[in-house]
Structure 1
Amino acid sequence: MTRTARTARPVHTARTARTARRSRAGAVGVAGLAVVLMASVAACGADAGEDRDPEHRSFALEGRTLTVDSDDSALELVAADVDEVEVTRWFEGRVMVGGKPRVTWEMREDRLELRLKCDGLVADCAAKHRIEVPRGVAVAVRSDDGSVTAKGFAEPLEVRSADGAVRVGDTTGPLELHTDDASVRALGVASRSVKVSTRDGSVKLELGVVPDLVESRSDDGSISIGLPRDTSYRIETGSDDGSVDVSVPRDQGSSHVVTAHTQDGSVTVRNVD
């Protein structure tokens, strides 16, 4: 008698089942560990201010201009009675899954390059630099990510930040301040030429001397400008979606020109004491 062939069935042994369960448990465990690590980093973000032993270095500067090129650091710039560019660096970083974090600094001719390397699946780093600049030096700042503060400059100061607030005070030289994603503040300055713009953030300016030119623009944010009472101004303002309040004396023939334009936000131009 001929027997009908039966289709072979996979044999599931107890060992096979245990192995499958362990594999699934291992995958879940790794994923869970990654979540825990990332949550831990998020809950305790790195703070450069926690560095109790900052590093210091001096850089010779031959010319009368300095460019600061930073990729990821908070920057504090001060005009000081120094002969070289004096830099103090604070750094805190940890990488749980990835390479060791590090920061570098290098002067190339008149360009100070500040770099932060913090790569990994779970990484958290923060850096801050205080830069003392010899008096009489014009400064240009290029920052990819990080706030920028500056004070004490009598020469031209230009700041361009891709992502970070800009704060300037106690300055008399011409100012150009630009950020893509943050606010701009220039308070207590005595600059006669001020040019400011931000794509996403507010602008606040308070001038201690009558300016020759103030240009301000925001794509999404309010603009507030405080001007001395000593004269009248040629004012040009506009807002696509917001109020406009100008309370300073106006004269279309004035040589003191002030412009303020925003697409979404209020515009205020007033006198300050």
Structure 2
Amino acid sequence: MGRRSAGQVFGGVALAGVLVATVAGCGASAGDDRHPEHRAFALRGHTLTVDSDDSALEIVAADGNKAGSVAVTRWFQGSVVVGGDPKVTWAMKDDRLVLRVKCSGIVADCSAKHRIEVPRGVVVKVEDEDGSVVARGFRDALSVRTADGSVHVTDSTGPLELRSQDGSVRAEVSSRRVRATTVDGSVRLELGAVPDLVDTRSSDGSVSLALPHASYRVTTSTGDGSVNVSVPRDDSSAHVVSARTDDGAVTVRTVN
């Protein structure tokens, strides 16, 4: 082995010290961004797809939002010790809002959050590869899919289709049609109106439904867990409820 100079040894030790210090202090939080950016994007139609790769999302149907315009607020914190500077981009392509985070290198630590305000009368579809999704206020159809993160919807009456690959799915809404699925996590729904259809499924987690007083056509199944159904049951009811899990408890009860 060749001999290394004292400068090379010192440089290696110094770099190692920087990396250790950075790792010890890592944990970027978008909430620490005190100066978020704001931008409005024109929306010509009545549908919007939110396409995000690595960000927490808050989607709001807002009465005060200008028709034909989507208002976006962005919070971002990030650092990369060795590699390119982290950055975030946003762009509207037809009816698709594309949100991207670039954060790669040695000891890369980034966090992004977007709040998206959508005018009433717009059907929204959310596709998030990595991040939680919170949504509220929707009278029109809302579809949410996240590969890694939780989904939580409140104060909505429009049809819902909610899916997570790895995270819980929750909703406190008055929607009459709800489909909620997760591969790894629990499903929790509380409905303020008698639904026409509720279809829920978890591969690994409990399923709990709280429904207004009515008679329901209920189907339940679990591979490993208890089943407790306390709502009135009627196999001829027009109100159809399905609650299934491969591993976990199933509860279908009347809202207190």
TM-score (norm 2): 0.94
Name the structure 2 match of 1:159.
Answer: 144
Matched, 1:78 2:67: no
Q: Name the counterpart of 2:32.
A: 50
Q: Cα distance, 1:136 vs. partner?
A: 0.7
CA–CA separation in structure 2 for the residues paired with 1:200 and 1:24: 48
Q: Does structure 1 residue 176 correspond to structure 2 residue 188?
A: no
The structure 1 residue matched to 2:49, chosen from 67, 85, 105, is 67
Query: Per-residue deviation at 1:29?
Result: 2.5
Distance 2:73 2:17 in 1: 37
CA contact (8 A) 2:57 2:116 kept: yes
Distance 1:28 1:88 in 2: 41
Deviation digits for residues 185-239 of structure 1 (CA, Å, limit 9, x no counterpart): 001x11000000000000000000000000000000000000001x200000010
Alpha-carbon RMSD: 1.8
Report matched runs for 1:82-231 at 5 Å.
82-83=65-66, 84-187=69-172, 189-229=173-213, 231=214
Letter in 1 for 2:165: D
Which whole-Å CA distance do the structure 1 matches of 2:198 and 2:80 have between them? 45
**Equivalent residue, structure 2, for 1:242:** 225
In structure 2, give the amino acid aligned to 1:111: R
Tell me the alpha carbon deviations over residues 231-262 of structure 1, each in whole angstroms, 9 at most, x when there is no partner. Answer: 20000001000000000000011010000110
- In terms of Rg, which structure is larger? 1
Q: CA deviation at 1:33?
A: 3.4
Corresponding position of 1:5? none
The aligned amino acid for 2:166 is D
Q: Do the aligned residues in 2 keep the contact of 1:177 with 1:197 (CA within 8 Å)?
A: yes
TM-score, length of structure 1 as denominator length: 0.88
Structure 1 portions without partners, runs of 5+: 1-15
Equivalent residue of 1:49, what SS? helix
How far is the alpha carbon of 1:37 from its aligned partner?
4.3
**Residues paired across the two proteins, number:** 253
Q: How big is each residue's C-alpha offset from its partner over 1:45-88, in whole Å with a ceiling of 9 and x where there is no partner?
A: 00000000000000010100000000000000100121210000
Give secondary structure in 2 for the equivalent of 1:219: strand
Identity %: 60
Measure how far apart 1:39 and its partner are: 2.3
> 1:37–1:122: 8 Å Cα contact kept in structure 2?
no
**Residue type of the alignment partner of 1:59:** F
Which structure's residues are more often strand, by fraction?
2
CA contact (8 A) 1:175 1:195 kept: yes
Q: Is the 8 A contact 1:37 1:96 kept in 2?
A: no
